[in-house]
Amino acid sequence: MMGKKYLTAAVIALLTHISVSTRLQGQSPPADLALLGIADILAMQIIPHEDGQGIKIPAKRFSFSYDYVQATFEGYKDGTRNVSMAEMATLFPVLPVEITQSAHLIDIGYQINQRLFLDLQLSYVNQETYHISRVPGFDEFTIRSRGVGDTSVGVNYLLWNNENESLYIGGAVSIPTGDINKTGRTPRDATRDTLLPYTMQIGSGTFDFKPSIAYVKTMGKFEWTNHLRGTIRMHKNYHDYSLSHRATLKSSLMYKWLPYLYPSLKLMGHYSDNIHGQDDDLLPRPGFYPAPVTKPSLFGGRKVDLMLGLHIPIKEQHGIDIEAGLPIYQSLKGPQPGEEWRIAASYGVRF
């Protein structure tokens, strides 16, 4: 029992330290939109003891959730410094001005036993980017891409719990079902569609490993959740690049204010590095980058988002979540587009 107390204190200290010091990156490819979903671990609930004899298995073992996420990127940053469009125009002939990403996420889970929970996540991703350019005939143009994203299969394990605390560990494998061959009409060739840059591709093109740890604690009407997750790219794809390695932390505090209304406050942090490798098909000639989103070193950085949310319970096994937020700190490897705001909505049910 003393070991569990020390472990609890260590986890709280670690996650509290990370929630203060970890920061999230700006512009990211659509393949990473799944990280923004509200319901990350459907089994992340306090599982009660049954008369001191053990852990209850939920009567309804299947769970389903649908998330809609939208994020907008506008304006450029280099570190924490804002970079004007006039300055950007001296560096690149083609400039994305406004980027809108959205994703529909479906999560299906199954509780195998008292401690083991399986999870499948599917996604459908949309992106639209408005550009300005110095290239004749492409003064202003918009490119779009959409399609089925990468698929994630995971497992979560309840390491230990008591009446008001739970600790989960988990892992998932991301399967590259998303397209990385999206094409469109760009200034690179006015006569035919050509390959779109990293930010317009729907998938990662790689198998990725996603380890995670989650700690949940209830304190009267408050519920405190901390979820730390990484994304490790296992190899390069057939275009000779891999997306950024990532580390994401969500720390949220929910208050059971009324039986039908639970407001919440969330700090969402993320660190990522740049893209590894390079797709030479994106370059008109070797060493020339027509737009910042074609240069692998101009990805990654650190950021902190502040999110406000509401959970609305519907009967015992249903619930709706809504949240919105914006960055309160961005330090980007740039210049690259910074995030403006984000909204998300979710519906979940057990059956």
Contact present, 84 and 336 (Cβ < 8 Å): no
The dihedral built from the CA positions of residue 210, 32, 153 and 42, taken in this order, carries a sign that is positive
Provide the β-strand partners of residue 222.
Answer: 219, 255
User: Which candidate, 83, 113, 106, 105, places its Cα nearest to that of 95?
Assistant: 83
How far is Cα of residue 69 from the mean position of the Cα atoms in its chain? 10
Each residue's pLDDT tens digit, 102-138: 999 999 988 888 888 898 999 999 999 999 999 988 9
Q: What percent of the chain has pLDDT over 70?
A: 84
Residue 164 and residue 217 in contact, taking contact as beta carbons nearer than 8 Å: yes
Query: Confidence class of residue 37 from pLDDT cuts 50, 70 and 90?
Result: low
C-alpha–C-alpha distance, residues 192 and 189, integer Å: 6
The percent of residues in the chain predicted with pLDDT above 90, rounded, is: 54
Mean pLDDT for the chain overall: 84
The residues pairing with 29 across neighbouring beta strands, listed in sequence order, are none
Under the banding of pLDDT at 50, 70 and 90, the label for residue 49 is very low
Residue 15 DSSP SS3: helix
35, pLDDT greater than 70:
no
Q: How many angstroms separate the CA atoms of 182 and 200, rounded?
A: 7
Name the residue with tokens 């490993």.
Answer: 209
Please indicate whether residue 245 or residue 21 has the higher confidence score (pLDDT).
Answer: 245
Q: Which of 310, 207, 221 is nearest to 263 (CA)?
A: 310
Express each pLDDT in 278-314 by its tens digit. Answer: 999 999 888 899 999 999 999 999 999 999 999 998 8
Mean pLDDT of 257-269: 91
What residues pair up with 254 in beta bridges, in sequence order? 223, 264
Task: Work out the pLDDT band at 169, boundaries 50, 70, 90.
Answer: very high
Q: Which two tokens stand for residue 347?
A: 């519906």
List the beta strands (DSSP E) in 234-300: 241-242, 246-255, 262-272, 276-277
249 and 22 in contact (C-beta within 8 Å)?
Answer: yes
Range 142-166 average pLDDT? 91
All structural domains of the chain: 2-350 (2.40.160.40)
